Structure 1
Amino acid sequence: MNTSLTRPLGAQMSHMLKNRGVDVIFGIPGVHNVELYRGIEEAGIKHVLARHEQGAGFMADGYARATGKPGVAYLITGPGLCNAMTPMGQGYSDSVSMLVISSCLDEVANRRGQLHQMKDQEGAARTVCDWSETALTADAAYGLIDRALVEFETKRKRPKHIQVPIDVLGASVAGPSDDGLRGSLPLARPEDVAAVAEWLGSAKRPMFIFGGGAVAGYNEARELMALTGGACFTTYAGRGVVASDNPLNYGAYLSTPDSTREIESADLVIAVGTELAEVDIWRTTIGKCATLVRVDIDAESLQDAHRADLPVMGDAKTFMRDVSDLLAGHKHNSQWDAAHVKSCIAGWRAETDAARPGVAKFGDALAEILPENTMIYSDMTQIAYVLKNTQPVDRPGHWHHPYGFGTLGYALPAAIGGKVGVGDDPVISIIGDYGFHYTMQELGVAVELGLSLPIILWDNGKLKEIEDAMVRSQIAPNAVIAQNPDFCKLAEAFGAKAVAPEDIAGFKIAVTDALNADGPTLIYITPDVGD
């Protein structure tokens, strides 16, 4: 960058982001943030125009999850930022590197009634992200951008929010330094690595639990499994860290009560890159562990209720590599029984089918036809709840879901962001009828961009999961049915393709065709789709 060239700060910020490796920005321009848009084209950044700021936030989230690069959103003051707070909260729960940049009013302490005014915009955003700060000068804006980018590399990935007053955005200023900050994740202490290697060397039934923090180290995880003869569970975010066909991989069935029995049968449990969250285990504890080791870069996670005999703070990938190096040549004497693991999985699969009958067949069909590198984005819907357990995932970081915050409407815009990020690689969206109502307008973005995106819409005509919860609680079902449109006609009105297959064979054809189409395709399915 030419630091001597003066431009309005908003334009300088776009040039700085480009210089730091940002190629795509999601957002919506408004009268308060127009200065952010002055330099986007000049800097060579692609801008994706969302139809709602919630969609922009989810697109940034989906892009970040797909590419490993920060997802950036430009938003306006007040309602624009508020509309994106749900995606920010989702990104915070799921460890997503999202950078939200918004405008803010120049003065609020002694003025009321201004357009888009909030009592405390910075504070409001802070409730759903890692930090929220106001840049009152150009140097502050540059410094905060570099701080956010380096923290994405050196800490747990979580959204950051930077807001800049309108007048400051428009002021002509010199550009920032060409040199961005760089950093690396913290490394485990050598004595901790040595202790874990020694314990693994003598363990007969080592058990690993791999979370989303282990995704980047999946090769190291697989090597460690082979060296030790260990069995494993994965969290939902950790699916694919170990291949589904590994005979000692119990899969993502941690939420099954019987998983406690299997974990308690281990003589050493090592949880890598997971906070063992409620949404992974759906109970207060994973079970009584003979010895528990936890590896994480987040000190807060290591101090939570799942207290470990040895908490290890450090990068999961490096930790697993270093442990494997110490175990080189080790001959394990594993007592895990692959037939028993297979039997457990079969039983849990049967329980899943019984709880939500007629759903898993769609996942089985997808497993037959989807290319190996397909990126999947799912929503809070019963079809996803089933497939998160039953669908095989052999590549890490290829199934994305709103795990923690648990918002509806995530899958469509997130899949759009993911598709923008991965280009020609296949991406699909799986969403329920009610969740589709939340962000259906973003279908226009997929049409506008000509994205080959299958959108599998599961319509059971109601909030079925909530209805089931009411029945279990002995509450007469209430407020669980909403009037749906003709979704196929709606998609066609946007300019998308639409198909309603009548059987599984037709479903497989529809998905295959949609992956090769020159635009998005809505694939409408119901529980009545036959075998």
Structure 2
Amino acid sequence: MTLQPLGVQISQMLKERDVDTIFGIPGVHNVELYRGIEQAGITHVLARHEQGAGFMADGYARASGKPGVAYVITGPGLTNILTPLGQAYSDSVPVLVISSCLDETAAKRGQLHQMRDQRAAADCVCAWSLEARSPEAAYSLIDRAFDQFASTRARPCHVQVPIDTLGAMAEAAPPPPPRPGYPAARFADVYAAVAAVLAAKKPLFVFGGGARAAADAIPDVLRQTGAASFVTYAGRGLVPAETPLHFGSYLARQDSAAIAAEADLVIAVGTTLSEVDLWRPSLGHTAPMIRVDIDPECFCDLAAQDTAILADAGEFLRAMSIAIPARTEDQAAKWDAALIRRRRATWRAEVDAERPGIVAISDALQTALPDNTMIFSDMTQFAYASKEIWDMARPGHWHHPFGFGTLGYALPAAIGGAMARAGLPTVAIAGDYGVQYTIQELGTAVELGLPLPILVWDNGKLGEIEESMVRSQIAPNAVIAKNPDFLALARAYGAGAEQPETLAALQDTVLAALDADSPTVIRMTCALAG
């Protein structure tokens, strides 16, 4: 049939654009979107809350490299997903939310799910939020979102369609158009960067999550230049752990600013060097900086001596690795590998002292888990420590709500990630308080039969907030909450439930959970470290 309801045509359009999974919750206002999902051959994952659906779409996008898609209803459905959209915006994740909207809001009041302006509400946490009042507009806006995902810094987008329009008959969407790519570096920029690096005595690279496309070129560039390197939390795995001049993901250590000040050239690739990367006002360098990014907004705070290069990190660094000759002996960089090893050991010891017990447990997990395990973590002290000391074997395999910093991310995002990586190991790590924000999504994981270990770090309180209060000389208040019996709760949902008593038992438990036919909640406490 050429003519079908618009809701059917939208699902078919998404299928033709390589969408195979949609997350969401049906309701009376968006039911027309559900008419064509099965016909299109798309899997729909029923979340228990729209917040969960948004985090699932985010996790799916991070794991697959494709846009995550969610369907929600008007009003509360959309407001419930705004937090995940804010997280996706902050962390540059391509998420497309399609919602229904009321046909008329100016002249009517008291309608079901009515908001004064839901489009504007979503616009606050998206690249854009727009209304399609015709089939042609819906198709155009959806393709606009996919174009932006393919060619600019990824940000979530929201398209809303009036209820009557969703149910009206419409022609099929046009075939997928050719997609633009990311901007390529100019030859002049590449050669200028090569010349600057070769002239520098102590060049320092900082790689962020935006440099993941350059993973194959980064080891060559570092070897050829003798440069030292840091990675942001999102960039972990880009530099092999055994690289002699690699400082790791310790940028947030305050004395890393002194190291940046030693450099006579800084090359920051695919990173905004934001507050949540540094936890101080600036990197600490005084030397010129070369900034490589696909987002021009990242160049707004550059100094007069700095260089801005608008380019895809992968193409830029691969071009550098081809263009740059190996350093001769008299050109060798002056970074001290032994000093770097000692500095990393000192930082690791600081993490262990600050968060007793976590380092040993984190090390045990890192030893046990396969290298291709993808981890989704929540805002929890266990993740804060592990993000510094856990050297990832490959990039893009530890995902965290970095910028927006929302609680409740790990479990639903891991569900989305597991859906994108069927047959590959996926793990969720959450704190005892944060996991309760979205614990109901455990039902979704059970329904899907996902072999998902859900590690719950249970210290019986909001530990990070308590420590912040103490540092601020505030008597700890409202940091102790009554926790449920997490193991009993897991069993009530039909999931596995374990509480290992030793590190060896933890390793065995996690590996067994990866082979199970349903998710397993694994409660961890400080007692595990002995």
Name the TM-score, length of structure 2 as normaliser: 0.98
Paired residue for 1:432?
A: 431
In 2, are the aligned partners of 1:25 and 1:72 still within 8 Å (CA)?
A: yes
Equivalent pair of 1:412/1:442 in contact (CA under 8 Å): yes
Determine the C-alpha separation between the residues in 1 that align with 2:305 and 2:386: 31
Between 91-100 and 332-341, report the one with greater CA deviation. 332-341
Structure 2, gaps ≥5 residues long:
none
Aligned to 2:463: 464
The equivalent residue for 1:16 is 13
Query: Are the counterparts in 2 of residues 514 and 521 from structure 1 also a CA contact under 8 Å?
Result: yes
Q: How big is the shift at 1:180?
A: 2.4
Q: Which of 311, 316, 319 is 1:314 aligned to? A: 311
Percentage of pairs with the same residue: 58
**Contact 2:235 2:395 survives alignment (8 Å):** yes
Aligned match of 2:473: 474
Conserved? CA contact 1:502–1:530, under 8 Å:
no
Pick from 250, 263, 266: which aligns with 2:263? 266
Alignment correspondent of 1:120: 117
Cα shift at 1:179: 3.1
Residues 433-512 of structure 1: pairs in structure 2 closer than 5 A:
433-512=432-511
Unaligned runs of 5+ in 1: none
Q: Which residue of structure 2 aligns with residue 143 of structure 1?
A: 140
Matched, 1:180 2:147: no
CA distance in 1, matches of 2:456, 2:326: 50
- The CA distance in 2 between the partners of 1:304 and 1:375, in whole Å, is 34
Q: What does the per-residue CA deviation read over 1:172-194, in whole Å, with 9 as the maximum and x for residues that have no partner?
A: 01011113241100122322211
The one of 66, 80, 101 equivalent to 1:83 is: 80
| Equivalent residue, structure 2, for 1:56 | 53
Instruction: State the Cα deviation string for residues 413-437 of structure 1 (Å, max 9, x = none).
Output: 0000000001111000000000011
Question: Mapping of 1:272-421 within 5 angstroms?
Answer: 272-304=269-301, 309-331=306-328, 332-421=331-420
Measured after TM superposition, the shift of residue 482 of structure 1 is 0.9
* Distance (whole Å) between structure 1 residues aligned to residue 260 and residue 489 of structure 2: 48
Encode CA deviations 1:169-217: one digit per residue, 9 max, x unaligned.
0000101111324110012232221111101122221110000110111
- 1:146, 1:181 within 8 Å by CA — same for their partners in 2? no
1:144-182 Cα offsets, whole Å, 9 max, x none, are 010000110100011000000000000001011113241
Aligned to 1:171: 168
CA distance 1:108–1:23, shift in 2 (3 Å): same
Contact 1:294 1:308 (8 Å CA) reproduced: no
Moved more, 487-496 or 258-267: 258-267
2:31 matched to which residue of 1? 34
Distance 1:389 1:150 in 2: 35
**Which residue of structure 2 aligns with residue 217 of structure 1?**
214
Counterpart contact for 1:227–1:330, Cα < 8 Å: yes
Aligned with residue 94 of structure 2, among 94, 97, 100: 97
Q: CA RMSD in A?
A: 1.1
Deviations 1:240-295 (A, max 9, x none): 11112212111110010111111111121100000001000001110133121110
Counterpart of 2:223 in structure 1 is 226
Aligned length: 528
Alpha-carbon distance in 2 for matches of 1:376, 1:161:
27
The answer to whether the Cα contact below 8 Å between 2:263 and 2:285 also exists between their aligned partners in 1 is no
Equivalent residues of 1:285, 1:306 under 8 A apart:
no
Displacement of 1:506 after TM fit? 1.2
For 1:247 and 1:364, the matched residues in 2 are separated by: 21
Query: Could you tell me how far 1:330 is from its partner in structure 2?
Result: 4.5
Q: Which residue of 2 aligns with 1:25?
A: 22
Indicate if the aligned counterparts of 2:87 and 2:406 stay in contact, CA closer than 8 A: yes
* 2:40 is the alignment partner of 1:43: yes
| CA distance 1:306–1:350, shift in 2 (3 Å) | farther
Q: 1:45 corresponds to which letter in structure 2? A: I
Moved more, 335-344 or 38-47: 335-344
Tell me the CA shift for residue 307 of structure 1.
Answer: 7.2
| Separation of aligned partners in 1, 2:185 and 2:142 | 28
